Structure 1
Amino acid sequence: MRPLEDVRILAVEQYGAGPFGSVHLADLGAEVIKIEDPRVGGDVGRYVPPYAEGEDSLFFEAFNRNKSSLSLDLASPAGRAVFEDLVRTSDAVYSNLRGDVPAKIRITYDDLAHLNPAIVCCSLTGFGMTGPRASEPGYDYVLQALGGWMELTGDPDGPPSKSGLSMVDYSGGFVAAISLLAGIHAARRDGIGMDCDVSLYDTAIGMLTYPAAWHLNAGFRPTRMRHSAHPSLVPFQAFEAKDGWLVVGCAKEKFWQRLTVVIERPEWASDPRFATFADRDRNRDVLLPLLEAIIAERTVAEWLEPLRTASIPHAPINDVAAALAEPHTIARDLLVETDHPRYGVIRQVASPVRVGSEPPTYRRAPQRNEDAARILGEVLGYGATAISDLAARGAFGDVAPA
């Protein structure tokens, strides 16, 4: 069995953060049943441009492989009845909605415990289910601004900048997945479920880590550093070579000593201005211009081999295409393929979560309501008459069970 093959999760999820968290659980074998609202055409991720056609999009594929889909109108009594039957047979209800919505649509532990005392209700919201911002919508960009991330990112002379990726969303998804798994473990041990109140805001603040500790305990005020430099380790930053950029980092004294040899300045290893972390930090305005001038004399490729030979942390600054073509990407099996009825073969990145030696298997993201017959018949044991009656009472919206 795959690691999570005995886990069933009802995912009232949409767009990015929530589906990103659950896709890794699905890759590990969990049965993730996407509950898609037929009133709005299901998960909005199905329609994200530019690579979207009908209800298919490459955006949706990236977040929803290995999952199942059931169109279900939770606002209708009939749809709610189906959902409650699913709760009786599931381990968790997972959602990413506005903080006040889980209680409004009755998917918290207090709402569902009478159906299944061991159910785990994991709510990944923008700001959490308590606090003054609980009813506000939360998006990655907003959280990068509010959480202090943007003020830390970019050139000192430029405007604050967001990450090129939705890192609060993705980090929040991982936090939710960890919380959900911990909740399921405890529920199976104790027989009692719980709420997991996870938020993008909590994630953004929690990931401030050591700059927060420095500020809270020593009054440190972070500032943006030129060329994405580390705030205290010198040198550890981007350098411009003759034909592009690379990162060189001396996170240990031995790396600095090796670097002085590579750049043909061995005397700098014992130079009192540069001999230790503290010396180099204190004299960064002297050292960095000297290093930048030296590195600019050669191409990126001319620097990579001597840096690799000396085992100094370094990397070319790749674009996305180069990162996906890196030999190490291929060697680690980080590109996977699935077959799709509209797109043919879809290539995408694999989950970085690794458990055991068996490689995961990958199946394309589901069409909307594609798994209705299996879920309603095999999981819930509904017969044709019961399904027809539920459909007539609006349980599935305008999407008839397949």
Structure 2
Amino acid sequence: AAYYLSVNRNKRSVALNLATDEGRAVFRDVADTADVVLHNFRVGKMAEWGLGYPTLAERNPGLVYAHITGYGEWGPHRHRPAYDLAIQAEGGMMSITGTPDGEPVRVGVAITDLATGYYTTQGILAALFERELGDGEGQKLDVSLLDSAAALNTYAALFYFATDDPPGRSGSKIPNIVPYQAFPTTDGHAVVAVPSEHLWPGFCAALGREELVDDERFATNDDRVRNRATLEPMLEAETREYTAAALVETMRDHDVPATPIHDMAAVYDHEQIHARGMRERVDHPTAGEVEMPGSPMHMSRTPASVRDPPPLLGEHTDAVLREMGYDDSRIAALRDADVVA
């Protein structure tokens, strides 16, 4: 599946049946030499199998043990299952995504799944760093999708905390900057951003409306926010005279940030994306050549790369077990007993 292919490059796959005593014994052997264990089983399941943090940490005190769930390991909802769509709704994102009069809309990618992975990565790295600076002891990390969604709300949450008024859906606009949105054109839309006062004169000049600079109703961003109901129709009447490409060009000629709204084809044909190595290709054993986004982390001494394709299920079981000292006869016996695949 596309989702699997998109997030599993550079990994190895060991297929292990944890419902068996032998499978759990193999898992403990792996965990004994691991820096990190990461899982997303429901709360209590790993402990039920004898694979909880206290058990594994007793055997490997330096272990960093990360657990991802929908709602976290404590609290009244800890046993509920969760998926990205549900958490986008419950975590507030769908209340601020979409147009004011439209239906609630999910973000176009599984944003809470992805963000939870990013937060978990940060937590794991912080725990490993603390282990190295400290006494060598690891720790447990508990990360939930709902917590991650709540954290991602950032300034939308702060707006609510400050005003006691929950923000609503506003399309491409934000409540505290004008103009900063998608503008209509003859053939679609283009985005123009004027987040700083020094950009406002250039924006007005780009549209041939220099007189707006001296209009006291629009003199500052606070004025423009206060009078956006008057200003925005005026600006949209001007942008409707341009194609999207022409509007972007005239804005850029005046040093105003502007961009077309790209679909995936346009993104991955973008000359900057190609220049930065953000369209990668890798050979997959069954799917052939697979294209995928590159890594956005461009490190000077140890550059990131797409080295290996997403693995097939159990593709590396034998290799990993051999590295751990299992001989071929033992591996064959485990496979015959449906402990590994």
Displacement, 1:388? 3.3
Of residues 319, 332, 340, the one that matches 1:388 is 332
Gaps of 5+ in 2: none
In structure 2, the residue matched to 1:196 is 141
Within the alignment, does 1:98 sit opposite 2:54 as a pair? no
Determine helix, strand or coil for the equivalent of 1:70.
Answer: coil
Residue 256 of structure 1 pairs with residue 191 of structure 2: no
Corresponding residue SS for 2:268 = helix
Equivalent residue, structure 2, for 1:367: 312
CA displacement at 1:108 relative to structure 2: 3.2
Using the alignment, how far apart are the partners of 2:336 and 2:98 within structure 1?
56
* 1:250-301 C-alpha deviation (Å, 9 max, x unpaired): 1000111210111111111121000101110110000000000100001011
- Cα distance in 1 between the residues matched to 2:9 and 2:48: 29
CA contact (8 A) 1:242 1:300 kept: yes
Residue equivalent to 1:334: 278
Contact 1:108 1:195 in 2 (8 A): no
Amino acid at match of 1:292: E
TM-score (norm 1): 0.81
Q: Is the 8 A contact 1:93 1:107 kept in 2?
A: no
2:127 maps to 1:183: yes
Matched, 1:84 2:28: yes
Q: Distance in 1 between matches of 2:43 and 2:257?
A: 42
Q: Which of 224, 231, 237 is the equivalent residue of 1:287?
A: 231
Deviation by residue 1:155-182 (Cα, 9 ceiling, x = unmatched): 1111111111111111111111111111
Moved more, 123-132 or 361-370: 361-370
The separation in 2 between residues aligned to 1:207 and 1:134, in whole angstroms, is 20
Counterpart secondary structure, 1:338: strand
Which residue of the other structure, out of 247, 250, 254, is the alignment partner of 1:303? 247
Deviation (angstroms), 1:393: 4.4
Match of 1:231 among 153, 165, 175: 175
**Cα offset for 1:392?**
4.4
Give the SS at the match of 2:4.
Answer: helix
- The whole-number CA distance in structure 1 between the counterparts of 2:279 and 2:89 is 32
Within a 5 Å distance, the mapping from 1:1-400 to structure 2 comes to 57-189=1-133, 190-225=135-170, 227-357=171-301, 358-378=303-323, 380-396=324-340, 399=341
Unpaired segments of 5 or more residues in structure 1? 1-56
Give TM-score scaled by structure 2 length.
Answer: 0.95
Q: How many Å separate the matches in 2 of 1:203 and 1:340?
A: 32
| In 1: Cα distance, 2:73 partner to 2:298 partner | 31
**8 Å contact from structure 1 (residues 126, 199) kept in 2:** yes
Three-state SS of the structure 1 residue aligned to 2:82 is: coil
1:297, 1:199 → 2: CA distance? 48
Is the partner of 1:163 in helix, strand or coil?
coil
Give 3-state SS (helix, strand or coil) of 1:325's partner.
Answer: coil
Return the offset for 1:238: 0.8
What is the RMSD computed on CA atoms of the aligned residues? 1.6
Deviations 1:64-108 (Å, cap 9, x if unpaired)? Answer: 111111111112111111111111111010112334434334443
Give the partner amino acid of 1:69.
S
Number of equivalent positions: 339
Between the aligned partners of 2:297 and 2:159, the Cα distance in structure 1 is 31
Q: Secondary structure at the match of 1:247?
A: strand
* Partner amino acid, structure 2, of 1:61: L
Contact 2:28 2:51 (8 Å CA) reproduced: no
- Give, in whole Å, the separation in 1 of the partners of 2:193 and 2:337: 63
- Cα pair distance change 1:296/1:87, threshold 3 Å: same
Counting aligned pairs with the same residue, the percent is 36
Aligned-partner Cα distance in 1 for 2:25–2:295? 34
Structure 1 residues 108, 313: CA separation in 2 closer, same or farther (over 3 Å shift)?
farther
Separation of aligned partners in 1, 2:71 and 2:45? 12
Alpha-carbon distance in structure 1 between the residues aligned to 2:48 and 2:285: 37
TM-superposed CA distance for 1:359, in Å, is: 4.4
Report the AA paired with residue 279 of structure 1: D
